Structure 1
Amino acid sequence: MEQLERYGYPALALLVLLEGIGIPTPAVSVVVAAAVLAGHGSMSLPLVVAVTFAAAVAGDNLGFWLGRRAGRPVILRWGRRVGLTEPRLTRAEDFFARRGRNIVVVARFIDGLRQTNGLIAGAMALPWRQYAVRDAIGGALWTALWVSVGALAGGNLDRLHALLRRYETPALVGAGVLLVSLLLVYVWRRRRRVTS
């Protein structure tokens, strides 16, 4: 909390971003603390939301490109330094393979996968567009959850409510478009399987 008060948004951005490339950081605690500080007027709640979301997505996408460029052998060589051993990587890859691409959305809420999902998806050669969309959804949900927790803890409920009301319509439209898109993809895949 002291470092966050001292260095502010750059510290928040750096710690959240580093977590996305597999370096363990207290990102969740930092996001909650930043939202609490916003509740006391030391930081701006909209900026905490924007910085957290941007850093989360940037870190994961950087992790994705590192995984894509470096591949599995390099990830294993350097990953041991941060606890990413071969058995853990294999378990995570199996989990991705079984659960499909949508696990990228959920991975942000699972400790271990949150730090490595970009690296793993990149090493598995998951198409970047498919990864980026799911990662952005997961990043938005993760940001909303932890900023809300911090805002509630910091007595910032009125500002959070005003922020949510301001972006309510675009968020609902975006969620509707996403649901319709997912439904269309599902129907298209089912028809393709039936005709095969």
Structure 2
Amino acid sequence: MTVDSILESIPPLAVYLAVGLIIGIESLGIPLPGEIALVSAALLASRHTLDIDPVWVGASATMGAIIGDTIGYTIGRKFGMGLFERLAKRFPKHFGTGHVALAKQLFSRWGVWAVFFGRFIALLRILAGPLAGALHMRYPQFLAANAAGALCWAGGTTAVVYYLGLAAEKWLSRFSWIALLVAIGVGIAMTMLLKERTKRLIAQLETEHDWETLRKPLT
């Protein structure tokens, strides 16, 4: 059985549901590879042999992001900053004081725009919904920024990846292994660079903040 035959056996509905579910769970505050799921689905949609609609990929990602963030907002609103303190004890690599302090700084500086642009930033994509609720951001403002950010992120990412996939399909058919290695190398290098810079900033904030200071309202 070839890779193509395996891909062709995947029902399109399963792809849409998987994308929406993964992104929705990630938006709740649970670290999952939502962006990878979206990019992978958009690439699959660019293959003319598969019956995957890029419009439905973008739509399922958008709905998953909006619903997941809204549920995350509700949870954060109910449990407050104490929720992050409890999560930090179990998942310090994702919810430590440095992570929450950085996200809170971005909220303090950008306000509701942090929700919009947070959809494009891995750290805020996980924390934006619950943190907005914990900080008692007004829900209508949150919903508007959340929906706009989800639509731009999901729709934009799907469109860019889809059309790049179409444009590169003929070239990739000739140089598939070279293209794959180059793409992986560039992706790993950029990811590691960004991760290292964010890690240093989080480590610095870790020493400057504790949960007592993080509970203070935004100024």
Percentage of pairs with the same residue: 28
Corresponding residue for 1:184? none
Cα offset for 1:150?
2.2
How many residues of Structure 1 are paired with residues of Structure 2 in the alignment? 157
Please, which of 6, 9, 18 is the counterpart of residue 16 of structure 2? 9
Q: Which residue of 2 aligns with 1:37?
A: 44
The structure having more radius of gyration, on CA atoms, is 2
Find 2:35's aligned residue among 16, 21, 28.
28
Pairs within 5 Å for 1:110-129:
110-129=121-140
Q: Deviation per CA, 1:78-129, whole angstroms, max 9, x where unpaired?
A: 2442611123212321221122222211111111011110111000000100
State the alpha-carbon separation in 2 of the partners of residues 91 and 153 from structure 1: 33
One-letter amino acid of the structure 1 residue matched with residue 69 of structure 2: D
Q: Normalization by structure 1: what TM-score?
A: 0.72
Q: How far did 1:156 drift?
A: 7.8
Deviant stretches of 4+, over 3 Å: none
Matched position secondary structure for 2:122: coil
> Any gaps of 5 or more consecutive residues in structure 1?
158-196
How far did 1:43 drift?
Answer: 1.2
Q: Spell out, residue by residue over 1:40-79, the C-alpha distance to the aligned partner (whole angstroms, 9 max, x if none).
A: 2331122112111100111111111111011111222024
TM-score by length of 2: 0.65
Please list every run of 5 or more consecutive structure 2 residues that lacks an aligned counterpart in the other structure. Answer: 169-219
What is the alpha-carbon distance in structure 2 between the residues aligned to residue 110 and residue 12 of structure 1? 18
Question: Considering only aligned residues, what root-mean-square deviation do their CA atoms show, in Å?
Answer: 2.4
Task: Say which of 67, 72, 78 aligns to 2:81.
Answer: 72
1:194 aligned partner: none
